């Protein structure tokens, strides 16, 4: 306890607030009590052994299973373990493993099968390898089997057919192979079979027709072959059949056209061979995709009037578009392109979705033999959010796609070469209904319009939402845009809360797929944040699919979702009544102390909750949801950044720092970025990471490397920065490169301005703590930008009385040679610590020397030269052109004043910037005398933007730089 009291003491010293002090004391006393209360194991020892066997099989880089120690998983804080007590024996049994997004990389060991009371196995979104052990068939009580999104291989064990209580089976996105065992027909309670994106093969077993409760059969992206089992039509509540991208190669069973419950039939690219079946007896059908098959004959004339998405493209269909299609009220995407259809296109235009200006509708008739179209259809093409594509119909658009023969404006539009309907309208970022007009709120709060949806009845407020990230993997709509409102309502009703409490904050459609990635905000009913209990309840509802289990959702056009993430910005702290100020305080206060304190708080929160059903050991595994946008900083998924770097290929490595490796990446939109990937040990808690991102997102200055995005996904933390083509300053101070004086001065001034911004303009102020030549990056025009302040600590904040503490006591961090000697001795961090390091950089810029080399210290060497008056001897010979001794002297003096031992004696950044600007000005006036070897006209243009050296002002500087711009552009340098 001693150590902890000291830790808390320093925190309190920083923030003198007796209420908070009491909170800390209170917390500590609870910890003390709980530690003394002894620990008699209340868990089943067989189950404990099974969990430890699983833990031991995991490389666990994110240390998510660190808390799995001891012999009492149900009693002691095991991250992600949930139990129920058996009243007859008083023994607790493990009922749930919730280890999604834990970055686990090991195997599912057979010992897990010893958890015979397990109801929910949730190890989604990890990197688990190896096979699914047959022993998992011993989970007699299992309801949810969630191993999707891993790296599992091998075949499905027939023993899984014993899991007769199972309602949900998700093995999608793995590398599983082999057949679906016929024993799966015994899964009489299963509602969801999600096996998409594997390498499963063989036929779809007819036995599945015995799964009488099946709703969703999702098998797309596998190697299944035909014939398809007609008996599936016997399942009374089947709503989704999704088989896309399988080499089926046989006809659709006629019986399937009679599955009257069917909402969605998706057989894209399945080599289906037959004359198109009539689908008129599928009254509830909202989605049909039979494109990219070998269908012949005519389009089905009679289809459900509820159809939203209807795709028959890329077949060999003949005949006309049935006139009934023109009356579809909900149509969003009709795609009959690339067939042999003919006749005149009927009179589209009066359907509800076609007349509603806010709804997107895309009608694609490209590459057929249509001979005419109705004026109503033509009119549609001129309406907002509507597109009608006719390209590739020679009679309508001419024989080549850009040869437009019919001279009407709308025809010009529709006869242009176009993309696939799935490539348009990718992202929706809806304005949060009435909240848009509410005032903006400070992080982590978000503006919320409470009350009814009519603007007159809302009250504006600020609250911390829970952020839920889900993926609709099989919606009936193509474009989410028109369904945002619908979806918010559906979710709110499923959760039993008011509609205004749910807001879609972002929706992105997966490229060329119908799947939608959605970021949801869920707001508390009246308070400014959710209580721990509410948080836990909502989490459980999403993670257990309780939220979508009702008929309203499971029969809805939203389809099933993948649960990707669930978090709230300050959950772990809020739960203890510590406000955001305290969070910042802890970060600022003392690093070691805050870590200890945060750990204690977490322990207390969890300890408090030790009940027969222990809940919410979430925070250890809490990660930020990909998709949340913090003021212009984009959240990337792990997959996106892996793609950008070719799976973090060694060829993309730019360098390695204390934080981890840095990669060059090319994003999907072609933008080149630098990606910093935290290595093991550099990862931060989610709250701290989030706090830091939020801080960085507010830092904008042209002399600071801009943070573009971040990733907190799959147990990895990464920062995405603008890419700096010029590499580091240090790389240019080399004997083989000549750099002129003006260029050097420009870099020094830019660097100083960047640091000045961090000290005075950033809110809260930031002390860099690690200014050095290799942290100063250059863009392709040699403009300097300070990097790596992302890992710096905040400057001290005013306390409650408004007084600013003079320094921050913290662990000494920095690089030898640049390290402020006073800071090193006293551990007191001030703005002058950065001033010292900047002085050293300035000396490097002038002399080209390293801070420490061959036992020589740059500060000492320059001081000596100044004393002897021989300053030209230490000027960098690679400077090529520079002003006289009189020009160099003030710069050296400034640098040395920055490097004084006593911080008091050093100038402030603002003085330094002013002085550098003066030197800049004087250099210009002395230029005609001392810089004879350069064209004075260039120099006067060059110096004409005094005080504001912009990138353009130096663009034409050709002197002093041997490396041409071209050479620099291709250069990739470690940071
Ligand atoms: C799990 O049960 C099996 C069979 O009962 C046993 O052989 C194995 O040792 C158990 N695993 C552990 C880790 O105790
Ligand atoms: C499970 O399915 C298999 C094959 O379909 C069958 O032979 C077996 O009897 C079934 N077992 C039970 C317990 O129903
Ligand atoms: C069609 O949908 C309606 C409304 O969701 C539902 O009540 C009805 O049972 C469905 N029809 C069939 C045959 O499932």
Task: Report pLDDT digits (tens) over 383-414.
Answer: 888 888 888 888 887 665 444 444 444 444 56
352 lines ligand 3 (CB under 6 A): no
- Choice among 144-158, 239-253, 428-442, 764-778 with the minimum mean pLDDT: 428-442
DSSP 513-575: SS-EEEEEEE--SSSSS--HHHHHHHHHHHHTTHHHHSHHHHTSTT--EEEEEEEETTHHHHT
Q: Whose CA is nearest to atom 4 of ligand 1?
A: 114
260 lines ligand 3 (CB under 6 A): yes
891 lines ligand 1 (CB under 6 A): no
Q: What per-residue confidence (pLDDT) applies to 767? A: 86
946 and 874 in a common domain: yes
512 lines ligand 3 (CB under 6 A): no
Q: Measured from the CA of 207, which atom of ligand 2 is nearest? A: 5
Q: Is the pLDDT of residue 474 over 50?
A: yes
Q: What per-residue confidence (pLDDT) applies to 594? A: 37
> Residue 789 sits in a domain of what CATH number?
1.10.510.10
* Domain-terminating residue out of 697, 722, 747: 722
Residue 148 counted as domain residue: no
Residue 196 counted as domain residue: no
**Of 487 and 607, the one with more pLDDT:** 487
Query: Is the pTM here over 0.85, yes or no?
Result: no
Q: What per-residue confidence (pLDDT) applies to 510? A: 76
Which of 311, 199, 231 lies closest to 265 in space, CA to CA? 311
Residues sharing a CB contact under 8 Å with residue 421, sequence separation 6 or more, in sequence order: 311, 333, 335, 362, 364, 389, 478
452 and 314 in a common domain: no
Ligand closest in space to the Cα of 52: 1
Percent of the chain with pLDDT over 90: 39
CA 941 to chain centre: 45
**Of 566 and 2, the one with more pLDDT:** 566
- Choice among 839-843, 848-852, 908-912 with the minimum mean pLDDT: 848-852
Residue 176 counted as domain residue: no
Q: Whose CA is nearest to atom 14 of ligand 3?
A: 261
956 and 823 in a common domain: yes
The answer to whether 346 and 374 have CB atoms below 8 angstroms apart is yes
* Domain-terminating residue out of 421, 444, 474: 421
Q: Is the pLDDT of residue 379 over 50?
A: yes
Ligand 2 pocket, mutate which of 157, 164, 183, 207 (most atoms under 8 A from CB): 183
Residue 915 vs residues 752, 862, 875: alpha-carbon distances, Å: 10, 19, 20
371 lines ligand 3 (CB under 6 A): no
Residue 184 counted as domain residue: no
50 lines ligand 1 (CB under 6 A): yes
The answer to whether 609 and 672 have CB atoms below 8 angstroms apart is no
Q: Whose CA is nearest to atom 6 of ligand 2?
A: 183
Q: Whose CA is nearest to atom 11 of ligand 1?
A: 111
Q: Is the pLDDT of residue 729 over 50?
A: yes
957 and 893 in a common domain: yes
- Choice among 324-338, 483-497, 723-737, 940-954 with the minimum mean pLDDT: 940-954
Q: Is the pLDDT of residue 861 over 70?
A: yes
pLDDT single digits (tens) 537-554? 898 899 888 888 888 888
Task: Give 76: exposed, middle or buried? Use CB within 10 Å, 0-12, 13-18, 19+.
Answer: buried
Q: Is the pLDDT of residue 53 over 80?
A: yes
The answer to whether 87 and 110 have CB atoms below 8 angstroms apart is no
Mean pLDDT of 812-829: 75
Q: What per-residue confidence (pLDDT) applies to 177? A: 96
Q: Measured from the CA of 49, which atom of ligand 1 is nearest? A: 13
Q: What per-residue confidence (pLDDT) applies to 353? A: 93
914 and 808 in a common domain: yes
Q: Is the pLDDT of residue 808 over 60?
A: no
Mean pLDDT of 187-200: 96
For tokens 């959010």, name the residue: 385
53 lines ligand 1 (CB under 6 A): yes
**Of 600 and 233, the one with more pLDDT:** 233
Q: Whose CA is nearest to atom 12 of ligand 3?
A: 261
Q: Is the pLDDT of residue 804 over 80?
A: no
Residue 107 counted as domain residue: no
Q: What per-residue confidence (pLDDT) applies to 225? A: 96
Distance 219 CA to ligand 3 centre (A): 24
> Residue 641 sits in a domain of what CATH number?
3.30.200.20
pLDDT single digits (tens) 640-674? 899 899 889 888 888 876 677 899 998 887 788 99
3 state SS of 898:
helix
Q: Whose CA is nearest to atom 1 of ligand 3?
A: 284
* Domain-terminating residue out of 362, 388, 421: 421
Distance 145 CA to ligand 2 centre (A): 20
Q: Work out the pLDDT band at 629, boundaries 50, 70, 90.
A: very low
Q: Whose CA is nearest to atom 8 of ligand 2?
A: 183
Q: Within 13 Å of residue 149, how many CA atoms lie on the same side as its CB?
A: 21
409 and 463 in a common domain: no
**Of 690 and 958, the one with more pLDDT:** 690
Residue 963 counted as domain residue: yes
Residues sharing a CB contact under 8 Å with residue 723, sequence separation 6 or more, in sequence order: 664, 672, 673, 674
Q: What per-residue confidence (pLDDT) applies to 52? A: 96
Mean pLDDT of 853-865: 80
**Of 69 and 821, the one with more pLDDT:** 69
Q: How far is 165 from 162, CA to CA, in rounded Å?
A: 9
Q: What per-residue confidence (pLDDT) applies to 935? A: 31
Domain count, the chain: 5
Q: What per-residue confidence (pLDDT) applies to 725? A: 87
Q: What per-residue confidence (pLDDT) applies to 388? A: 87
The answer to whether 897 and 839 have CB atoms below 8 angstroms apart is yes
Q: Work out the pLDDT band at 242, boundaries 50, 70, 90.
A: very high
Q: Is the pLDDT of residue 134 over 90?
A: yes
pLDDT single digits (tens) 917-971? 988 888 766 654 443 333 332 222 233 333 333 333 333 222 222 222 222 222 2
Q: Is the pLDDT of residue 699 over 70?
A: yes
b/e sequence 452-474, b meaning 16+ C-beta within 10 Å: eeeeeebeebbbbbbbbbbbbbb
Ligand 1 pocket, mutate which of 47, 114, 133 (most atoms under 8 A from CB): 114
807 and 940 in a common domain: yes
Q: What per-residue confidence (pLDDT) applies to 573? A: 27
Q: Whose CA is nearest to atom 4 of ligand 2?
A: 183
533 and 439 in a common domain: yes
3 state SS of 147:
coil
Mean pLDDT of 10-34: 40
805 and 760 in a common domain: yes
Residue 530 vs residues 20, 522, 537, 598, 880: alpha-carbon distances, Å: 21, 10, 10, 20, 64
Q: Measured from the CA of 284, which atom of ligand 3 is nearest? A: 1
Q: What per-residue confidence (pLDDT) applies to 399? A: 60
Q: What per-residue confidence (pLDDT) applies to 909? A: 94
Ligand closest in space to the Cα of 206: 2
695 and 608 in a common domain: no
638 and 734 in a common domain: no
Q: Work out the pLDDT band at 166, boundaries 50, 70, 90.
A: very high
45 lines ligand 1 (CB under 6 A): no
Binding residues for ATP: 676
Q: What per-residue confidence (pLDDT) applies to 295? A: 96
Q: Within 13 Å of residue 794, how many CA atoms lie on the same side as its CB?
A: 26
Q: What per-residue confidence (pLDDT) applies to 533? A: 83
> Residue 565 sits in a domain of what CATH number?
3.30.70.2040
Pocket lining for ligand 2, CB < 6 angstroms:
161, 182-183, 185-186, 207
| Residue 344 lies in domain | 296-421
pLDDT single digits (tens) 900-919? 988 899 999 999 999 999 88
Q: Work out the pLDDT band at 76, boundaries 50, 70, 90.
A: low
284 lines ligand 3 (CB under 6 A): yes
Residue 327 counted as domain residue: yes
Instruction: Name the strand (E) or helix (H) holding 504.
Output: strand 502-509
Q: Work out the pLDDT band at 437, boundaries 50, 70, 90.
A: low
The answer to whether 453 and 503 have CB atoms below 8 angstroms apart is no
Distance 478 CA to ligand 3 centre (A): 22
For tokens 């309208």, name the residue: 425
**Of 375 and 200, the one with more pLDDT:** 200
Residue 50 counted as domain residue: no
Pick the catalytic residue from 517, 770, 831, 973: 770
- Number of other CB atoms surrounding residue 60 within 10 Å: 19
Percent of the chain with pLDDT over 70: 74
Q: Is the pLDDT of residue 793 over 90?
A: no
Ligand 3 pocket, mutate which of 235, 256, 284, 553 (most atoms under 8 A from CB): 284
Task: Give 610: exposed, middle or buried? Use CB within 10 Å, 0-12, 13-18, 19+.
Answer: middle
Distance 211 CA to ligand 2 centre (A): 12
Distance 111 CA to ligand 1 centre (A): 6
Would you call 151 a catalytic residue per the annotation?
Answer: no
What mean pLDDT, rounded, does the chain reach? 78
Distance 304 CA to ligand 3 centre (A): 12
840 and 709 in a common domain: no
């Amino acid at each position: 306890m001693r150590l902890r009291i000291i830790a808390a003491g320093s925190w309190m010293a920083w923030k003198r607030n007796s209420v908070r002090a009491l909170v800390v004391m209170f917390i500590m006393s609870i910890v003390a009590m709980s530690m003394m209360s002894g620990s008699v194991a209340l868990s089943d020892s067989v189950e404990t052994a099974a969990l430890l066997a699983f833990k031991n099989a995991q490389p666990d880089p994110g240390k998510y299973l660190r808390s799995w120690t001891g012999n009492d998983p149900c009693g002691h804080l095991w991250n992600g373990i949930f139990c129920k007590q058996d009243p007859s024996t008083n023994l607790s049994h493990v009922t749930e493993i919730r280890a999604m997004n834990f970055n686990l990389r090991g195997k599912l060991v057979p010992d897990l099968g010893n958890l015979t009371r397990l109801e929910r196995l949730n190890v989604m979104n990890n990197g688990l390898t190896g096979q699914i052990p047959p022993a998992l068939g011993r989970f007699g009580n299992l309801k949810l089997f969630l191993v999707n999104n891993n790296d599992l291989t091998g075949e499905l064990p027939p023993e899984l057919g014993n899991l007769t209580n199972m309602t949900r089976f998700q093995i999608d996105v793995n590398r599983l192979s082999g057949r679906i065992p016929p024993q799966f027909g015994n899964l009489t309670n299963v509602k969801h079979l999600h096996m998409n994106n594997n390498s499963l093969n063989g036929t779809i077993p007819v036995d599945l027709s015995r799964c009488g409760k099946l709703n969703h059969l999702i098998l797309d992206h596998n190697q299944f072959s035909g014939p398809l089992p007609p008996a599936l039509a016997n399942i009374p509540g089947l709503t989704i059949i999704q088989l896309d991208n399988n080499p089926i190669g046989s006809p659709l069973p006629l019986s399937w056209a009679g599955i009257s419950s069917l909402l969605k039939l998706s057989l894209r690219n399945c080599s289906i061979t037959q004359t198109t079946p009539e689908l008129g007896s599928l009254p509830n059908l909202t989605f049909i995709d039979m494109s990219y098959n070998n269908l012949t004959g005519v389009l089905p004339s009679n289809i459900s009037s509820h159809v939203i998405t209807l795709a028959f493209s890329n077949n060999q269909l003949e005949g006309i578009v049935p006139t009934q299609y023109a009356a579809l009220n909900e149509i969003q995407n009709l795609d009959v392109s690339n067939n042999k259809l003919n006749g005149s296109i009927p009179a589209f235009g009066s359907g509800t979705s076609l007349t509603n200006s806010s709804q997107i509708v895309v009608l694609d008739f490209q590459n057929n033999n249509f001979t005419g179209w109705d004026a109503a259809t033509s009119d549609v093409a001129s309406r907002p959010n509507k597109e009608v594509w006719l390209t590739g119909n020679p009679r309508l658009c001419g024989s080549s796609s850009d040869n437009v023969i019919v001279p009407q404006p709308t025809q010009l539009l529709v006869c242009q070469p176009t993309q696939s309907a799935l490539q348009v309208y990718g992202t929706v970022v809806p304005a949060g209904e009435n909240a848009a007009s509410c005032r903006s709120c400070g992080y982590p709060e978000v503006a919320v319009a409470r009350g009814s949806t009519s603007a007159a009845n809302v009250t504006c407020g600020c609250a911390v939402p829970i952020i839920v990230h889900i993926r609709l993997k099989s919606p009936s709509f193509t474009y989410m845009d028109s369904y945002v409102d619908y979806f918010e309502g559906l979710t709110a009703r499923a959760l039993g809360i008011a509609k205004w409490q749910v807001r879609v904050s972002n929706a992105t459609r997966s490229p060329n797929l119908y799947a939608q990635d959605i970021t949801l905000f869920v707001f508390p009913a009246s308070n400014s944040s959710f209580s721990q209990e509410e948080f836990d309840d909502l989490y459980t509802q999403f993670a257990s699919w309780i939220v979508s289990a009702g008929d309203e959702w499971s029969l809805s056009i939203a389809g099933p979702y993948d649960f990707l993430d669930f978090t709230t910005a300050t959950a772990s702290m809020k739960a203890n009544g510590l406000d955001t100020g305290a969070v910042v305080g802890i970060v600022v206060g003392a690093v070691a102390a805050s870590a200890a304190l945060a750990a204690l708080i977490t322990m207390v929160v969890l300890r408090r909750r030790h009940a027969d059903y222990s809940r919410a050991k979430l925070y250890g595994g809490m990660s930020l949801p990909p998709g949340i946008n913090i003021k212009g900083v984009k959240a990337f998924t792990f997959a996106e950044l892996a793609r950008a770097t070719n799976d973090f290929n060694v060829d993309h490595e730019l360098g390695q720092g204390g934080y981890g490796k840095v990669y060059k990446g090319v994003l999907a939109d072609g933008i080149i970025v630098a990606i910093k990937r935290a290595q093991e040990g550099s990862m931060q808690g989610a709250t701290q990471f989030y706090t830091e991102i939020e801080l960085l997102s507010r830092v904008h200055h042209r002399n600071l490397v801009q943070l573009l995005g971040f990733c907190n996904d799959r147990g990895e933390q990464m920062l995405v920065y603008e890419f700096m083509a010029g590499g580091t300053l240090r790389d240019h101070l080399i004997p083989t490169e000549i750099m002129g004086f003006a260029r050097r001065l420009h870099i020094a001034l830019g660097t100083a301005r960047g640091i000045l911004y961090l000290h005075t303009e950033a809110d809260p102020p930031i002390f860099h703590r690690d200014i050095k030549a290799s942290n100063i990056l250059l863009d392709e025009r040699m403009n300097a930008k300070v990097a790596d302040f992302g890992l710096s600590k905040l400057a001290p904040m005013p306390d409650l009385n408004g007084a600013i503490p003079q320094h921050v006591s913290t662990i000494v961090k920095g690089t030898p040679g640049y390290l402020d000697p006073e800071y090193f001795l006293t551990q007191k961090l001030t703005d002058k610590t950065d001033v010292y390091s900047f002085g050293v950089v300035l000396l490097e810029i002038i002399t080209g020397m390293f801070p420490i080399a061959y036992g020589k210290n740059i500060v000492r060497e320059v001081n000596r030269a100044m004393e002897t008056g021989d300053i030209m001897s230490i000027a960098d010979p690679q400077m090529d052109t520079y002003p006289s001794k009189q020009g160099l002297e003030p710069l050296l003096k400034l640098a040395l004043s920055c490097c004084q031992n006593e911080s008091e004696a050093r100038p402030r950044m603002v003085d330094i910037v002013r002085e550098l600007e003066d030197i800049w000005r004087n250099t210009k006036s002395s230029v005609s005398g001392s810089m004879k070897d350069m064209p004075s006209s260039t120099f006067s243009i060059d110096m004409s933007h005094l005080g504001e050296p912009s990138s353009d002002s130096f663009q034409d500087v050709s002197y002093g730089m041997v490396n041409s711009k071209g050479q620099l552009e291709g250069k990739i340098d470690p940071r």
